[in-house]
Structure 1
């Protein structure tokens, strides 16, 4: 039996309907981690669904309660040889709200519905479908190799990613010996595009920045007070413009990353950001000058206004509001100094005449990135190309935020993510879906990668 046999078998799981049936069973667990009433479902997904599936592959699993008690973890281990490479994989079984009643044509988010090339269902893309692909690929390799993988494998599946992975770092730190591996391979987030396989080596960090202007209680008639009372909405709008301008360009140097290195530019040289017809098209004259779209998205920082509010936009009164507030988000790459970001912004606004703007931060995710010179990167890229016939896009980091820093900085291992979704998958929204052709290709890619891992006599 050969590498091609393993790849063919993995792809067959989709063609025969076996993979969709398995994923349908997993989607049926209503694992909304933001819903306190679903705590039992979080445990059931790990205990009743994943534990038996991994046991069939020879894994020994146990459920670990999180230190805060908010969401559980599954730790699974499969060991063949002390000298063979060991890979750690990650996934999360929790989802955002199902948004029942908001899906196209009345679709049930907790049942997979296939329409053309799409398989709809909550968690299909984020993240049940993605870790299910990896588990199925392991099964194909083990069956092809006559009951052996050729390497050691471990899994950590969490049920709190959609609440910010609050206990992942602590659990990994406590279990660092148990989770020790030569390489981390995860699957989450989207590919660069549906057509191009992608490897990304880390993620941008993210911090929410709250700006509040509180001048007085209630509103005051604009005819009686206009021109003599300061307007908090006007103040806030102008304060924001000193931090990010009308073309989305960061104005405060302290919020910018270090200059792009030659290695980062080289890695992104052949990466094109090309939305499909049903995805948002790139905006003209937007973002940092002198950078390509790929460099803006994967190698630079962005400051976005997520929400802004003052008065009642649905029923505006002829009154000067007393308060205004906005929530911004800084997406940042490795090397950006963010430890005292609230103080930096507060001082900047005061220097520009806005000392009345209160600044605070929440929801922090750290940026991380694997070493671009790691031999694992070329090994993985060669494997993906051998299977798919396509040179994968190798991105220094994902444009969004994932808990990659836990594996890179806490567990100290090389990290690679091979996503199986695409930018238009509607994750976190109604109509979440995966593409069947991408899923079939991904099953083959992961079977090829795991086969190649089993061919190594020792870790790279």
Structure 2
């Protein structure tokens, strides 16, 4: 069959979408191969790990975007953190201007990953990508190197369909320190405001409802994290000599932490607020299956299960500095430190929540013990405005790719930097998407990516780019 179109004639929307679909399908093995190459780089951004790997990862990501042939320049850059002297981790930045009235879309993901955790809990090596059944296992396979590759594969498909001469404006921001608190994020935005300015921002760092149903994340809890230290003694003493009369720091800390929750396990800190919102049906059986809750263990909290995760606060102690059981001695500990991680419901700022938590700790620290709070991290919650045209386009693309309508979903986790995006780009429409499913186990051993979910997620983004490329009026 011959093609009678003149080379400069526009490809019809239907033909373009068909070409995009074909490009995603035929290019999927290459997408997975490139993703595996990224997973092999142990780009843990925590300070205790070798940061050379994060730089190697940034170079690899930059080469992928350079290979697309659509950007005049793809560069790796760093911005200072809050102290103004230390540089944050390397991020990849690229941009191309829109033409003929088309919008510009900013594609965000991050190339850094969480630490591997206990290697004995992994069924395969964390940095050796391994396919078992329908899933690709490896640290970063889902969170968020798959998000990086979703952007690369989507632009590749657009190039396959239209060549490099399309109208859609593109901006790329692949961060290198999201898992370490995005400490230079605000400065990075300010330094690169012009290059990153966009009508639509896609944050590819979330998930989907299940293996067959796409989701658009419309609500995120904020976070307040800090180190809490309790001290009762100027030095350690023998527990047999003074136990029973002198309170040790562990006793004081345990009693203090117990005041964070009520009898049903719900947060009991006065002043931490929740938010009323309708939630989809989510039975206890689904909660147990997706979380791995043991059969004999009861869920905690009150209200619908999803309200407990999406729209109510939560407090977790994520670490403790104290002697291990193997190193335990008969000693009254003078001080104990814990890491407290609080999730804040939409409608309350992180600054207000920190003040409330500090007041609670001051009021409930027993025995007159001293306490100190430091190493504070704050991130505000976020609610997506679903009234804009970008949400309509994104949901249409998801329905076309998945064959099923998208669910509006909340997330119990936090993406604090979205508040920075809103501050710097208040007119931009923000879409929070993702490639994960409920069993991806991001941050945990055996993190994985469902390949079927991933292909549909990548196709969703590619079809979204195609739809935006066809727009000639950015205002509607």
Which of 154, 171, 180 matches 1:137? 154
Which of 242, 245, 263 matches 2:259? 242
**What TM-score, normalized by structure 2, do the two folds share?**
0.84
- Residue 33 of structure 1, CA deviation: 2.4
- Structure 2: distance between partners of 1:271 and 1:114: 30
- Contact kept, 8 Å, 2:253 with 2:336, in 1: the verdict is yes
| Structure 1 pair 248–86 and aligned structure 2 pair: CA distance change class (3 A) | same
Secondary structure at 2:93 match in 1: strand
Question: Residue 58 in 1 paired to residue 70 in 2?
Answer: yes
| Structure 1 pair 271–450 and aligned structure 2 pair: CA distance change class (3 A) | farther
Question: Residue 34 in 1 paired to residue 52 in 2?
Answer: no
- Structure 2: distance between partners of 1:205 and 1:312: 32
Secondary structure at 1:50 match in 2: helix
- Contact kept, 8 Å, 2:345 with 2:381, in 1: the verdict is yes
- Structure 2: distance between partners of 1:390 and 1:300: 29
- Contact kept, 8 Å, 1:369 with 1:397, in 2: the verdict is no
Aligned residues: 449
Which residue does 2:350 correspond to in 1?
338
Question: Residue 364 in 1 paired to residue 378 in 2?
Answer: yes
- Residue 183 of structure 1, CA deviation: 0.8
- Contact kept, 8 Å, 1:150 with 1:453, in 2: the verdict is no
Q: Unaligned 5+ residue runs, structure 1? A: none
User: Following superposition of structure 1 onto structure 2, how do residues 308-347 of structure 1 map, counting pairs within 5 Å?
Assistant: 308=320, 312-339=324-351, 341=353, 343-347=355-359
Which residue does 1:12 correspond to in 2?
26
| Structure 1 pair 312–144 and aligned structure 2 pair: CA distance change class (3 A) | closer
Which of 51, 70, 80 matches 2:88? 70
Question: Residue 43 in 1 paired to residue 55 in 2?
Answer: yes
- Contact kept, 8 Å, 1:209 with 1:342, in 2: the verdict is no
| Structure 1 pair 76–235 and aligned structure 2 pair: CA distance change class (3 A) | same
- Contact kept, 8 Å, 1:91 with 1:186, in 2: the verdict is yes
Which residue does 1:211 correspond to in 2?
228
- Structure 1: distance between partners of 2:441 and 2:315: 22
- Structure 2: distance between partners of 1:52 and 1:226: 62
Higher mean displacement: 352-361 or 188-197? 352-361
- Residue 303 of structure 1, CA deviation: 1.3
- Contact kept, 8 Å, 1:7 with 1:445, in 2: the verdict is no
- Structure 2: distance between partners of 1:285 and 1:119: 30
- Residue 145 of structure 1, CA deviation: 3.0
Question: Residue 403 in 1 paired to residue 403 in 2?
Answer: no
- Contact kept, 8 Å, 1:202 with 1:416, in 2: the verdict is no
Computed over aligned residues only, the root mean square deviation of the Cα atoms, in angstroms, reads 2.9
Which of 259, 269, 273 matches 2:280? 269
| Structure 1 pair 210–117 and aligned structure 2 pair: CA distance change class (3 A) | same
Which of 94, 99, 103 matches 2:112? 94
Which residue does 2:6 correspond to in 1?
none
Describe the superposition over 1:133-160 as per-residue Cα deviations: whole angstroms up to 9, x where unpaired. 2220221133123444442111111212
**What TM-score, normalized by structure 1, do the two folds share?**
0.87
Which residue does 1:293 correspond to in 2?
305
Q: Unaligned 5+ residue runs, structure 2? A: 1-14, 81-85
- Contact kept, 8 Å, 1:136 with 1:443, in 2: the verdict is yes
- Contact kept, 8 Å, 1:342 with 1:359, in 2: the verdict is no
Secondary structure at 2:140 match in 1: coil
User: Following superposition of structure 1 onto structure 2, how do residues 163-178 of structure 1 map, counting pairs within 5 Å?
Assistant: 163-178=180-195
Higher mean displacement: 295-304 or 244-253? 244-253
| Structure 1 pair 211–95 and aligned structure 2 pair: CA distance change class (3 A) | closer
| Structure 1 pair 419–229 and aligned structure 2 pair: CA distance change class (3 A) | same
- Contact kept, 8 Å, 2:314 with 2:343, in 1: the verdict is yes
- Structure 2: distance between partners of 1:39 and 1:220: 40
